[in-house]
Amino acid sequence: MARRAGERDDDERGGGGPANGTGARIWLPLNALRAFEAVAKQQSFTAAAASLHVSQSALSRHVGRLEELIGRRLFDRKPGGVTLTAEGAALLPVLTASFDRIETTLRGLRQESAGPRLLRVHMPPTFLTVFGMGLLKEFRAAFPDVLIDVSSTNGVGLPAQRALDVAVVFDKPRVDDRVRDLLWTVSCTPAASPDMVAETAETAGGSLERVLARAELLHVKLEDEPFGVFWADYVRQRGLTIDERRGLAFDTEALAVQWAVGGGGVVLIDERTWGPEVTAGRLVTLGPRVDTAYGYYLTLHPDDLHDPAIALFRSFLIGRFAQQGA
């Protein structure tokens, strides 16, 4: 945002109307808009100025001129920081989405001129381990001109602060500005190793409730979700009276299943994901299946439906899961 001597700010170049009578696009104070976005995200003029490598006074001047231009305050300034006004809260998501689209388009144009297209793909860890690695290998073999940059985080919904083209997310149904293709709805069934089942069933008299009361319960941690959320839901739906808060917690479902296969406890599995472990006899299901509120969704921005690489990847992934009877 620095400028050379004698060069005017874009905020100093005239009013907010069309440049001429031909219907030209309205003048946009881009530096001021960047300053506003930075302050809104950092909730601090000091931190925003540091992130943009400008002085705090210059940043304040940009935001002040933007507020003068629209005739509304965008921030409530307080001793401990700043908060968005209603007008600021309305502007921020539109501005961020616009900047994201511009950045994505420019990056795509640069990549087209530089060579193969790079596709930024996100998948949850267990999905990536069980399904994703094979699918990505198959996709690359079929479309070698599309390079893949894979990221993975274990949480619900889209990961924050990540620039992505397409993502498989573990999430509840929701309505927002994204395209969401449901790959499948997750269900839960308690399962354990055959040896553990035989040993525990002898002392529990075959009762599922008694087996679970005596066994170690294995949990999967999810960011921003309460501990033991899946066991709590299973116990509630089945009307059981066990303490579901005990046991071990793992960062990924794959680790919890590995521990269960080794005889370490009872894990709730999605049979769509872990059916091969049951078929091979490494796990035995102990009780009825219950549906959850969660599913795996292929997620992208609607503007990207016209991007050839993203559209290709979407069709490929949906087609593979449709073939598998998701």
Closest CA to 210 of 202, 218, 219, 220: 202
Q: Look at residue 224 and tell me if it is in a domain.
A: yes
Q: How far is CA 213 from CA 47, 200, 210, 235, 246, in A?
A: 51, 10, 5, 11, 10
Q: What is residue 124's predicted lDDT score, i.e. its pLDDT?
A: 92
Q: How far is CA 126 from CA 28, 56, 265, 322, in A?
A: 45, 44, 19, 20
**Are 78 and 218 within one domain?**
no
**Are 184 and 283 within one domain?**
yes
Cite the beta strand spans of the chain per DSSP E: 75-78, 81-84, 117-122, 146-151, 166-171, 179-192, 217-220, 248-250, 266-269, 284-285, 290-300
What whole-number distance in Å separates Cα of residue 213 and Cα of residue 287? 14
What whole-number distance in Å separates Cα of residue 230 and Cα of residue 226? 9
**Are 33 and 77 within one domain?**
yes
Number of domain units in the chain: 2
Q: Look at residue 2 and tell me if it is in a domain.
A: no
What whole-number distance in Å separates Cα of residue 209 and Cα of residue 287? 10
Q: What is residue 85's predicted lDDT score, i.e. its pLDDT?
A: 93
**Are 126 and 96 within one domain?**
no
Closest CA to 45 of 74, 18, 24: 74
Q: Look at residue 1 and tell me if it is in a domain.
A: no
The full DSSP string for 85-145 is -HHHHHHHHHHHHHHHHHHHHHHHHHHHHHSSEEEEEE--HHHIIIIIHHHHHHHHHH-TT
Q: What is residue 14's predicted lDDT score, i.e. its pLDDT?
A: 45
**Are 100 and 220 within one domain?**
no
Confirm if 245 and 227 have CB atoms less than 8 A apart.
yes
Q: At 321, which CATH number? A: 3.40.190.290
Q: What is residue 202's predicted lDDT score, i.e. its pLDDT?
A: 54
**Are 203 and 313 within one domain?**
yes
Helix/strand/coil for 220: strand
Of 111, 143, 161, which residue sits at a domain end? 111
Provide the Cα torsion 227, 229, 232, 234; round to 10°. Answer: -150
List the domain range (segments joined by +) for residue 129: 117-326
Beta strands at 248-250 and 217-220: parallel, antiparallel or unpaired: parallel
Confirm if 187 and 292 have CB atoms less than 8 A apart.
yes
**Are 74 and 157 within one domain?**
no
Q: How many CB atoms lie within 10 A of CB 92?
A: 17
Of 111, 144, 173, which residue sits at a domain end? 111
**Are 35 and 175 within one domain?**
no
In terms of Cβ atoms closer than 10 Å to its own Cβ (0-12, 13-18, 19+), residue 123 is buried
Q: What is residue 113's predicted lDDT score, i.e. its pLDDT?
A: 54
**Are 168 and 188 within one domain?**
yes
What whole-number distance in Å separates Cα of residue 49 and Cα of residue 44? 9
Of 60, 84, 111, which residue sits at a domain end? 111
How many alpha carbons lie under 13 Å from residue 162 in its C-beta half-sphere? 18
10-residue mean pLDDT profile of the chain (326 residues): values are 41 46 64 90 88 87 90 87 90 86 69 68 92 93 90 79 82 84 92 84 66 89 82 91 88 92 93 92 90 90 84 90 65
Q: Look at residue 227 and tell me if it is in a domain.
A: yes
Question: What is the gyration radius of the CA atoms in the chain, in angstroms?
Answer: 26
Q: Look at residue 183 and tell me if it is in a domain.
A: yes
Q: At 70, which CATH number? A: 1.10.10.10
Nearest 5°: the CA angle 298, 308, 96 is: 65
**Are 58 and 205 within one domain?**
no
Q: What is residue 13's predicted lDDT score, i.e. its pLDDT?
A: 46
Q: What is residue 23's predicted lDDT score, i.e. its pLDDT?
A: 53
Q: What is residue 18's predicted lDDT score, i.e. its pLDDT?
A: 46
Q: How many CB atoms lie within 10 A of CB 325?
A: 7
**Are 50 and 132 within one domain?**
no
**Are 274 and 189 within one domain?**
yes
Confirm if 270 and 186 have CB atoms less than 8 A apart.
yes
Q: Look at residue 4 and tell me if it is in a domain.
A: no
